Structure 1
Amino acid sequence: MTLPDRSGTCRRAPCLAVFAAPDRAAGRGPCLGRVCVVERAVAGAVELLHPARYRLRLDRAAPLCGLDQVRLQPGHDGAGVWVAIVDTGIDWRHPDFRDQRGRTRVAWLLDQTMPATGVHADLEALGGGAVFSREQLQDDLEGRGTVWPAGRDRIGHGTHVAGIVASGDAVYRGAAPAVELVVVKAVDIDQGGFGEDDILRGLAFADTVARRAGRPLVVNLSLGNQLGAHDGSEPLELALADLARQEGRAVVVAAGNEGDSAIHARAALPAVRPLRLGLQLPAVNPGTEASVLVDVWADSADGLRLVVEDPAGGRTSEVSSAGPNQLTREDPTGVVTAACAGQAAPFNGLWRCQVEITDQGGLSPAAGVWVLEVAGSGTRLDAWIAEFELGGAWPGFVDHVDPTVLVGPPATAQGVLAVGSFTNRVDWQDIGGKQQRVEGRVGERSWFSVLGPTRDGRPKPELLAPGWLVASTLSADSDPRRPDSLFYSGGSLRLVLADGRHALAGGTSMAAPLVAGVAAQLLQRQPRLSGRQLARLLSLSASGDEETGRDLFRPDWGFGRLWVPAALAGVAGDRPVDDRRSLCGITQRWMPPAGDVVWACAVPRDAGGRPLGEGLEVEFSAPGLRWAGPVVDLGGGLYGRRVAEAPRRGRQVSISCSARGVTFAARPCLQGAASYQEAFAGGLRGGGCSSAPPPEHPAAGLPGLLVLLMVLAGPRSRDLSGSCSRCSWKRCSRCRKNLPSWE
């Protein structure tokens, strides 16, 4: 349970002290932005919380995002930029992480699973572990040091992620092969996830060493969870938002891998009776440790009241925001712990309750439908199955299921890039020379890639990048024949590639580092860009086609696929406006973050489809519409103007935009639904409008634009094994076998 520690005493250290602003946190301990890791209560903190735990989000990628078109050009390798990776460690001895002279490109290594050595005492106190410099690592490579086994990566996730960013291999080359790495090993093979306090310490360490060296820094976090309000208000997210506001800093986060699950429910809170949320728990083998944690958030005027009902009809006593705030009930159906916060959360004003159902004396929780009965006086309730361990089986809601709002913390932080996944390859030759193939099509959205937006209506994920079956560096310490390896496939070596030093893995974990490498290239050219500017630039230079849709943003595809040439050209000075490539249309709810309102939006672009950036004079014209305010420069090349009154559904709206004397107009737009959720649930097809886009690069034609209210097909489940009885994949969509504790 992660409800705030309202005792003010930090009863179980460490705790996270969250302050109103970064300047109020200075000097309070290891801090990143407004969040500090503390051992006891401190004065002035807005909240004092126990750290949450985050889990991992689990070649041919270059042509799919245009990376191959810029690799041979000078100044497109990330030189001079550092990338911080908080993960499972790194095989820093691997040749992929050495320069042409054989010197390591790992600038600093922090291993939080090892005790401090005392060599870098101040940095070790900050990072909470053993710190090793480039010089120490190089001495070890040359046989003069004793660094090993620091950073040892037995899972293989961190090494694979680092390779996608920075590998110098001639074949499996990273997105930015000249960057230098700051690696934080924050978890070992026998730990269930990353402590939020450890992540914050690691990021504070990375930020500090980069500042001392005067280097721009990109942070990659291929980890996350479903715990929190999904609106950027978690402590780690607040700290990341503070970091992303700074010049020369960017943050890239994996969006999440729960896109084919029923772990989110959304409903209105009835005023006259409690809301009943059904939660289906599967049968679990006797003796299996089992637990499920449900996180509930609502905008109620007078708090929440909660009762839990087991499949046999037994009911707990009521817990409520007014008290009692917590209870535990033990009986043969399982141990139920329920709690409600005694006051609204300070950074979003929402009320929160949690329910945890665990095994009782070796007996798994009763299989069947459990009911969470929630009462309050609000307008909206969201619940997420935030954590679960059920022997590989999955729970799911049976009522009010909503497939959207699944981009999980910390990817919902403001100013960070949340990255989803599309398919990178479907066939390959393994180390034994055997040709392997899985079902699917290159370029399609990965079935596991989560849908946005955020709970507070911001567009996430920003974009999708190659993430399913990406080839990258294989850690020498990660044996693919062991179940604890990222590359485990039923004991076979079919995910290991022919050279034996690289392997395939999939997930939004693999999509995020490719974008992090591109962000490093952008900082190489413009070191003073902030993370927010980079996020906007990469979003608005993403490509669209018939599959991703001609919308400016869609909850499944974000702003489109990563397209590197457009992003890099976006920092290359003034260019004329092209009326065929510029975007002009109407959007509701997701862009910009202003709730249930209608905006006209424009992205002036050049002939190559590249956003022309900030500071332009943009005008909107829409006969019959009244405007609620002036044109707003939203940053990164996006401009908007709020409509005073939302058009009726079914009404056609004609709109045109202009910049630098060039008018770019959309065809009449038909509004098909009041919101994406309504359209999705009703199976409607909303209309859209765009100028006719001529053919463009092989991956996708850069869009002309249409309205956002297009309805997409639902998440597709896919069984990659061919037979569940022989499933050896991490995530078979039917039997869910072999699902590890990371994703």
Structure 2
Amino acid sequence: MVVALCGVARADEVRRMPAELAPPAIGPLLRLRLLEGVEPPGPAAALVRRGGAVEVLRGDLAQVLEATARASRVELAWPLELHRDLGGEAIGLPMDLAARQEALGLLGAGVLVGVVDTGIDWTHPDFMGRDGRHRVAWLLDLSLGERVGAHPGVEVYGGALWSAAELTEALAGERVVPSRDRVGHGTHVAGVIGGLGEGFAAGVAPEVDFIVVKANQGEQFAFTEADVLDGVSFILERAEDAGRPVVINLSLGGHMGPHDGGSDLERRLGELLSARPGRALVASAGNSGAEDVHASGFLTGEVERLPIVVPSYERGDGAASEAYVDLWYTAGEPVRASLIAPDGRRLERIEEGDAAMLGGRGESLLAVSHEAETDTYPGLRQILVVLREPDVGALEAGGYVLELEGGRGRFDAWIALRGAFGARFGGFIDPNTRITVPGTSPAAISVGAWVSRSSWPSRSGGVPTLEVTLGAPAVFSGTGPTRDQRPKPDVLAPGLFVLSALSAAADPRVNPGSFYGAASRAGVDPVLEGGLYASSQGTSAASPFVAGLAALLLEQDPTRDVEAIRDIVRASSQRVEVGASRFWHPKAGFGLIDVEAALALGRGERGAGAPSATRSDVGLSLDVLHPEADQGVRVFVVPRGEGGAPLPPGWSVAVEAEFEQGEAVVEAAERLGEHVAAVRVRPGTARGVGRVRVSVDGVALESSPQLNIIASPEELGGEGPPSEVSSRDHACAAVWGEPRGGGGWVWLVLLGVLKWRR
């Protein structure tokens, strides 16, 4: 067993990891899960222990492996990346604070907001209160050494900690606080949540206080899971001490893991935040919506070939880059994995529990690890593929093929790391489930990006403008649902050219390496006149809008938990039409947040009378389904009154599904909250085009979305299916099979239209 590539392992199988397989992860390399009652070994004793896991630094590997006989699990600790680069009016939020106070009556007073990110420019005027006090209650910098004795009794997780009083002294020149946000991402995020904004870039909740954790090292754009969890734990501990409600924003994520809420990171976040009054978590959906980073299909017992494309490129400066492909499958029968390079090199038929590699030690590297099912991921097996550049020159361009032989069941694969060469899938491409982890967590409110602005006033003169479709989901916004068919993202918020606070240390004129640097190098100045604010884009900028809204809802009722807040935010959102879909969509979730409507619903202002057949909402998690997709699809329903407001609890939902052939299995409705219900529909014997019909309290709803359960040519009773079938609600991948020797039919997704092709 090769430690560097293992998802899970028995302790007696672990040996020293070959140096060639050391991943690019910063900081922690391995996560060692100890048996109950066992303390960390010597060199790991001083390292962070979170939820039973010890994060092990790269240099400690040799010593720590001596203790693996006492470990129940060893796995990689993967880095999480920023979803980096004011749509307040788009979400019903007046920019003038006096007008906002009059309209909403809430500005976030008494609520804490935790930001685990790249730090904050604590000298920025946006983070001072209108009464002159500093609103950063605590600043923890994990990239700096501990200030021993500065804050006795406070766990600082090895970082340097300053209080609001100390930051105020530093502003007066009475002490030195060396923490800087040189990336600029955290400052921008905090500004969207609660910056004062000088009247034109005010945050959603400008009276909240902040707890900021700088969790990246130096100017890096990535984080370890350990540092993220340390940051979350620190924030919750400080909020508990203060007796105040708290919202945590995570504008970061990655594609490692099965995207079903089952990763260690997601489980630990659930333990800390789910069903806990006064606590909420908001996470970005990621920026992979337009990238071919997700592939899915079904194993047929034969050989399925998953193409991985490395485009032609010129090698840049720096260390060798690599791509990681993370595949998960549900087959109950044995599967063998092979990897074939464009030059014909092969790693042949790797069985469960085995790993193999070619090259390394200065040459290009191909590696495959095939992990067996464990208690951690029941019913799932993992295959991890690594493609690494040589020390000199480029990785061979062309099509790499991962062959899966045997087994029956679904597989999902993600490009967890694309490398500098931009690896992508060349087949089985699925436009859905491109949302990142931990946005897939059941404990998180997940947020995609909405286009509310196409330009901004630059300090360099002029108004840089981009041709985009206003009033629509951003093309880059990560798509849902989760692998287990939960509705993610939950909602959309403004995420293109969002104006917010600029960290002075991240101004691209003085620091071209900041996250504003790419725009600057392209000849576009993202900074506004005066140098205090800048424009950015990404779901990173969208997530803090919802974090700010969550803070207002906690000010309204500090006892709410994340589930209650998510239910209000979903049910109060504005409909977003994508194609023919009028309700839940993998790109748009439940719609665009509406601050005023959310607060009204939070006050108990609901619809009255019978359910409205025309105003009530119905949507599907997917609208095309493979007949062997055991998880089926989920029907999402929000019953509304004639005025459009959600109805109070007490209603019941019934669903019928009619198809051209056979019968589907319709399960009982389940509540996702007071205002949202879901019903799972499994394929059963149903085939062809069908309609899903919903009634609430006996009232048949007008919306009856179409669902296609695809069939083989033989099942359709002809030589092949129609030349073209529209996907009316939203495109989704449903691969029947890859062509073998030019034969067979393939279900393709092309510009939102589903087609059959030989």
Aligned position for 2:188? 160
Q: Which residue of 2 aligns with 1:99?
A: 129
Are the equivalent residues in 2 in contact too, given 1:227–1:409 (CA < 8 A)? yes
Q: CA deviation at 1:176?
A: 0.6
Match of 1:66 among 89, 92, 96: 92
State the shift of 1:449 in Å.
Answer: 0.9
After superposing the two structures, state which structure 1 stretch, 486-495 or 429-438, moved more: 486-495
Partner of residue 21, structure 2: none
Q: Is 1:358–1:364's contact at 8 Å kept on the other side of the alignment?
A: no
Do structure 1's residue 431 and structure 2's residue 459 form an aligned pair? Answer: yes
Counterpart for residue 225 of structure 1: 254
Query: After the TM superposition, which residues 199-210 of structure 1 pair with which residues of structure 2 at under 5 Å, given as runs?
Result: 199-210=228-239
- Counterpart mapping for 1:236-247 below 5 A: 236-242=265-271, 243-247=273-277
Q: Distance in 2 between matches of 1:293 and 1:546?
A: 35
Q: Which amino acid aligns with 1:368?
A: G
1:448-507 CA deviation, whole Å, 9 max, x = no partner?
112111111111111111001000001111121343122222445621112321010000
Corresponding residue for residue 450 of structure 1: 478
1:264 Cα offset (Å): 1.6
Q: Does 1:603 align with 2:661?
A: no
Classify the secondary structure of the residue corresponding to 1:429.
coil
Distance 1:331 1:111 in 2: 36
Cα deviation, residue 425, structure 1? 1.2
| Structure 2 length-normalised TM | 0.80
Task: Tell me which residue corresponds to 1:698.
Answer: none
Evaluate the alpha carbon distance shift between residue 92 and residue 609 of structure 1 in structure 2; reply closer, same or farther with a 3 A threshold. farther
- Residue 332 of structure 1 deviates from its aligned partner by 8.8
Shift of 1:362: 1.1
Pick the aligned partner of 2:117 from 80, 87, 91.
87
Determine whether 1:544 maps to 2:570.
Answer: no
1:616 aligns with 2:650: yes
Q: Which amino acid aligns with 1:618?
A: S
Go from structure 1 to structure 2 and tell me whether the alpha carbon gap of 1:241 and 1:303 turns closer, same or farther (over 3 Å shift): farther
Q: Deviations over 1:309-335 (max 9, x none)?
A: 111112134432143x34343499721
| Alignment pair present for 1:667 and 2:695 | no
Q: What is the alpha-carbon root mean square deviation over aligned residues?
A: 3.7
Q: Residues of 1 paired with 2:312 and 2:654: CA distance? A: 54
Q: Which residue of 2 aligns with 1:699?
A: none
**Alignment partner of 1:109 out of 139, 143, 167:** 139
Q: Distance in 1 between matches of 2:294 and 2:363?
A: 24
Q: Which moved more, 1:335-344 or 1:175-184?
A: 335-344
Partners of 1:627 and 1:396 lie apart in 2 by 36
Q: Percent identity?
A: 31
* Aligned mates of 1:31, 1:581 — CA distance in 2: 53
Cα distance, 1:177 vs structure 2: 0.3
**For 1:33-72, what aligned pairs fall within 5 Å after superposition?**
47-58=73-84, 60-68=86-94, 71-72=101-102
- The question of 1:280 aligning with 2:287 is answered no
SS at match of 2:390: coil
Distance 1:430 1:636 in 2: 45
Alpha-carbon deviations, 1:269-307, whole Å to 9, x = none? 231335343433432337553311111111122454322
1:515 Cα offset (Å): 0.7
* Alpha-carbon spacing, 1:236–1:74, altered in 2? closer, same or farther (3 Å): same
Partner of 1:171: 200
Structure 1 residues 615-694: aligned runs within 5 Å: 615-620=649-654, 631-640=669-678, 649-652=688-691, 654-658=693-697, 664-667=699-702, 669=704, 671-674=706-709, 684-686=725-727
Alignment of 1:539-618 (within 5 A): 539-547=570-578, 550-573=581-604, 575=606, 576-577=608-609, 579=612, 582-583=615-616, 585=618, 587=620, 596-597=631-632, 601-606=636-641, 609-612=644-647, 615-618=649-652
Paired residues of 1:553 and 1:559 also in contact (CA < 8 A):
yes
How big is the shift at 1:628? 5.8
C-alpha displacement of 1:510: 0.3
Q: 1:636 deviation in Å?
A: 3.5
Question: Given the alignment of the two structures, is residue 414 of structure 1 paired with residue 442 of structure 2, yes or no?
Answer: yes
Letter in 2 for 1:198: D
Q: What whole-Å deviation, never above 9, does each CA across 1:633-659 have from its counterpart, x for those lacking one?
A: 33141134566987764455654313x
The correspondence of residues 247-262 of structure 1 with structure 2, limited to 5 A, is 247-262=277-292
Deviation string 1:85-111 (CA, Å, 9 cap, x unpaired) is: 111110011000000122110011110
What is the alpha-carbon distance in structure 2 between the residues aligned to residue 226 and residue 80 of structure 1?
Answer: 35
Query: What amino acid sits opposite 1:299 in the alignment?
Result: T
Distance 1:445 1:327, change over 3 A: same
Give the partner amino acid of 1:364. A
Q: Does 1:353 align with 2:383?
A: yes
> Residue 480 of structure 1 contacts residue 493 of structure 1 at CA under 8 Å; is this kept in 2?
no
Distance change >3 Å, CA 687–CA 6, structure 1 → 2: closer
Structure 2 counterpart SS, 1:61: coil
Structure 2 contact 260–483 (Cα < 8 Å) conserved: yes
Asked if 1 retains the 8 angstrom alpha-carbon contact of 2:188 and 2:502, the reply is yes
Match of 1:737 in 2: none
Which is worse superposed, 285-294 or 156-165? 285-294
Deviation at 1:579, TM superposition (A): 2.0
Residue 213 of structure 1, CA deviation: 0.6
The equivalences for 1:4-403 within 5 A come to: 4=7, 6=9, 8=11, 15-16=30-31, 47-58=73-84, 60-68=86-94, 71-73=101-103, 75-120=105-150, 125-146=155-176, 148-150=177-179, 152-169=180-197, 170-191=199-220, 193-242=222-271, 243-285=273-315, 289-323=320-354, 325-330=355-360, 334-344=364-374, 346-390=376-420, 393-403=421-431
Q: Which runs of 5+ in 2 are unaligned?
A: 18-27, 58-63, 714-721, 730-748, 754-758
Aligned length: 675
Q: CA deviation at 1:167?
A: 0.3
Quickly say closer, same or farther: Cα 1:670–1:539, change in 2 above 3 A: closer
Which residue does 1:503 correspond to in 2? 534
Q: Distance in 2 between matches of 1:82 and 1:45?
A: 38
The 8 Å contact of residues 35 and 235 in structure 1, kept in 2 or not, is answered as no
- Aligned equivalents of 2:333, 2:253: Cα separation in 1: 31
Residues 50 and 400 of structure 1, relative CA distance in 2, 3 Å threshold = closer
1:141-190 CA-partner distances (Å, limit 9, x unpaired): 222222x212x011111101110001012221001101111101011444
Pick closer, same or farther for the CA change 1:553–1:484 going to 2, 3 Å.
same
Query: Which sections of structure 1, spanning at least 5 residues, go unmatched?
Result: 689-710, 716-743
CA distance in 2, matches of 1:14, 1:333: 22
With 444-453 and 106-115 compared, the bigger mean Cα shift is at 444-453
- Tell me which amino acid in the other structure corresponds to 2:443: G
Distance 1:20 1:604 in 2: 48
Change (3 A) 1:348 1:71: farther
| Cα 1:616–1:29 shift into 2, 3 Å | farther
The offset of 1:687, in angstroms, is: 5.5
**Which 10-residue stretch deviates more, 312-321 or 394-403?**
312-321
TM-score with structure 1 length normalisation? 0.82
- How far is the alpha carbon of 1:348 from its aligned partner? 4.2
How much does 1:191 deviate?
3.1
Q: State the shift of 1:209 in Å.
A: 0.6
- Rounded to whole Å, the distance in 1 between the matches of 2:696 and 2:89 is 33
